[in-house]
Amino acid sequence: MSVKNYIQEHQERFLNELLDLLKIPSVSADPKFKADVFKAADFVKESLEKAGADKVEICQTAGYPIVYGEKIIDPNLPTVLVYGHYDVQPADPYELWDSPPFEPVIKKTPRHPEGAIFARGSADDKGQFYMHVKAFEAMMAEGDMACNIKFMIEGEEEVGSEHLDIFVKENKEKLKADVVLVSDTHMISLDNPSVTVGLRGLAYMQVEVTGPNRDLHSGTYGGAVANPINVLCNMIASLQDEDNHITIPGFYDKVEEYSKEYRKALNEAPFDLDAYKKELDIDDVHGEAGYSTIERVGIRPTLDVNGIWGGYTGEGAKTVLPSKAYAKISMRLVPDQDHKEIAKLFEAHFKAIAPKSVKVKVTPHHGGAPAVVSTDTPGYRAADLAIQDVFGKSAIPTREGGSIPICSLFQKVLGLDPILLGFGLDTDALHSPNEHYGVKNYFMGIETIAAFFKNFKEEASK
Ligand code: BES
Ligand code: ZN
């Protein structure tokens, strides 16, 4: 039997195992789910053992553990390091889900006519990293492992991979490989397969604006004392000008500008603006003047308010001038912006623009560096060839807007370009209610990963 036949023969079990993994609410951001995050790590450990990995261990960190496992077939063969994450984003708001987020169901959608698995983490990243476990199982079962494999599956990606940094630095020998393979991104579509060659970085801030020392009657004091929510809104509004340029001094100093040719090539990727707007139910897109939607997401930095709160938000009306207002603000960064530097620029500017009538506190949360991957490596060529084998056409290199902070660490510490071979679609609702992952994407992904190993062996030896 071949690896392809093995995958087909075991389809039902491959799917059911993923559904079991999706039932574990491994939300890393919320301490309420701590036990479940550990449970997911155990699940990953067992799945690697069953698939045939050696030296499987749960590596404890100061945060959530990293699951490691390997199969060294022959030290002379190239080694592929697979990275993924078993933690998921919070499922809130639960009421916006059509089915409970940790009770996976399979339903058809316009983009997944053959069905998609609806559950938190289905596409990001359980459904995607689990493809590697199953590709590994199939290759092992068929005695068809073309390369050695190492797995590193972490549980803190969605909260900034804080402890992975030290782990990678302290375990360089253990993690030694010839390429890093990651499935935690999108492709354009199954008809237009793509490989991600760039991810944005992130600087995430929380701000607190304090006005009077207590909530006040908005009639007695309104108009005479600064309302921190009004002030915060003005401050936030001033962070972008009429062209949607970010106004923080120095923000663009290190932003890499691309040539006309590069921008033209990026814009040649298939993209249907009308379908994009229709799917989001918006009449127009919005963004930095002078750039296309593909460019705004792929090669330009942005600033977004992720949440804003304060004052009275309960039922009915309460006339109150609140004492405090808060917001969580994130900036997506591009090469060569440094998230720590940007966090400092933000803080200095935010404090500088605050009127004397309020006090401002700025707290940086996690951050991450952007990453750009070369297309001129054995790893990229192997990914392209694997896509050709399974999809029948060459991969389109794309720049994506999301962040995987660990990618730049792989480059810096291990000297390896991660190959971002993702099979999700941008409409899969990552981080949103009703996240889903195509069943066909899952199985084609498993096949493509197996094909990658074969092609990488060839490409690495050239
Ligand atoms: N899988 C995503 C990253 C991603 C999403 C890449 C879409 C490309 C397209 C990842 O799990 C994620 O969401 N990362 C966070 C990083 C953050 C918490 C440091 C993100 O991008 O918000
Ligand atoms: Zn992810």
Tens of pLDDT, residue by residue over 350-362, are 999 999 999 999 9
> pLDDT of 177-201, one tens digit each?
999 999 999 999 999 999 999 999 9
Contact 202 CB / ligand 1 (< 6 Å):
yes
Mean pLDDT for the stretch of residues 244-272: 97
* Mutation to probe ligand 1, out of 122, 331, 404 (largest number of atoms < 8 A from CB): 404
For a pLDDT cut of 90, what percent of the chain falls above it?
Answer: 99
CATH assignment of the domain containing 454: 3.40.630.10
CATH assignment of the domain containing 249: 3.30.70.360
Residue 305: inside a domain: yes
* Mutation to probe ligand 1, out of 184, 188, 204, 331 (largest number of atoms < 8 A from CB): 184
pLDDT confidence band for 1 (50 / 70 / 90): confident
pTM of the entire predicted model: 0.95
Structurally, the chain folds into a number of domains equal to 2
Mean pLDDT for the stretch of residues 290-308: 98
The number of CA neighbours under 13 Å toward the Cβ of 430 is: 19
* Mutation to probe ligand 1, out of 86, 156, 157 (largest number of atoms < 8 A from CB): 157
Cα 243 to ligand 1 centroid, rounded to whole Å: 26
Same domain for 427 and 410: yes
Same domain for 402 and 323: no
Mean pLDDT for the stretch of residues 391-402: 98
Cα 131 to ligand 2 centroid, rounded to whole Å: 14
Residue 280: inside a domain: no
pLDDT confidence band for 366 (50 / 70 / 90): confident
> Ligand 1, closest atom to CA 161?
19
Query: What residues contact residue 226 under an 8 Å CB cut-off, 6+ apart?
Result: 211, 212, 355, 357, 358
Residue 167: inside a domain: yes
Residue 228 domain boundaries: 207-255+301-365
> Ligand 1, closest atom to CA 200?
21
Taking the C-alpha atoms of residue 377 and residue 286, their distance in angstroms, rounded to an integer, is: 36
pLDDT surpasses 90 at 215? yes
Closest C-alpha to ligand 1, atom 4: 402
Mean pLDDT for the stretch of residues 107-127: 98
